[in-house]
C-alpha cells in the first residue's frame, strides 16, 4: 500500500481473503499469525538517485577531515584528504547533525551525521482465526 500521506492515514485496514476449508482439504480451521509492517517514508532516494535529507551520509573516501564549511543553503561541505593526498569534497544536506569534526580520521562509508531514520519502521503482529461461519 502506498505511498500515502501519514497524517491522514494513522490506521490502515487490510482486506483478508480467507480460503474455504470446505472446498480445499489443504486448508484447516486454525489460528494463523498475521504480520504487517510499514515505513513512514524516511530514508528515501529521489528519482535522480540522490539521497533525501532523511539518510545517513557516509564518507566517500577514507582519510582525514581537513575542513568543514557551511554553504549558502546551510549544507555542510566536508573536505576529506586521503593518505595519498587526494582531496574530496562532500555535501551533507542542511538540518542533519554531524558526528565528525575537523581533524577526525574516517573510513570509507563511515557515517558523517546522526542517522535520522531511527524508529521510522512500525510493525504489528496479531492472529486471525479461521472458523466455521455456522459456529
The cell 545517513 sits on which residue? 56
* CA 25 from centroid of its chain's CA atoms: 42
92-115 per-position pLDDT tens digit: 988 889 999 999 999 999 999 987
The cell 524516511 sits on which residue? 42
Q: List the grid coordinates of 101.
A: 569534526
Q: List the grid coordinates of 121.
A: 519502521
> Cα(21)–Cα(131) distance, rounded to whole angstroms?
9
Please, which residues have CB within 8 angstroms of residue 4's CB and are 6 or more apart in sequence?
none
Model pTM score: 0.53
Residues in the chain: 135
13-49 per-position pLDDT tens digit: 778 888 888 888 888 878 888 888 776 655 566 667 6
Amino acid at each position: 500500500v502506498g505511498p500515502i500521506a501519514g497524517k491522514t492515514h494513522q490506521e490502515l485496514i487490510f482486506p483478508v481473503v480467507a480460503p474455504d476449508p470446505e472446498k480445499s482439504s489443504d486448508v484447516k480451521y486454525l489460528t494463523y499469525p498475521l504480520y504487517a509492517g510499514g515505513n513512514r517514508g524516511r530514508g528515501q532516494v529521489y528519482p535522480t538517485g540522490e539521497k533525501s535529507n532523511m539518510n545517513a551520509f557516509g564518507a566517500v573516501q577514507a582519510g582525514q577531515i581537513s575542513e568543514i564549511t557551511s554553504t549558502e543553503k546551510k549544507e555542510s561541505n566536508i573536505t576529506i584528504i586521503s593518505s595519498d593526498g587526494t582531496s574530496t569534497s562532500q555535501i551533507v544536506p542542511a538540518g542533519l547533525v554531524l558526528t565528525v569534526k575537523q581533524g577526525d580520521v574516517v573510513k570509507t562509508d563511515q557515517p558523517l551525521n546522526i542517522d535520522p531514520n531511527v524508529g521510522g519502521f512500525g510493525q504489528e503482529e496479531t492472529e486471525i482465526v479461521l472458523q466455521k461461519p455456522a459456529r
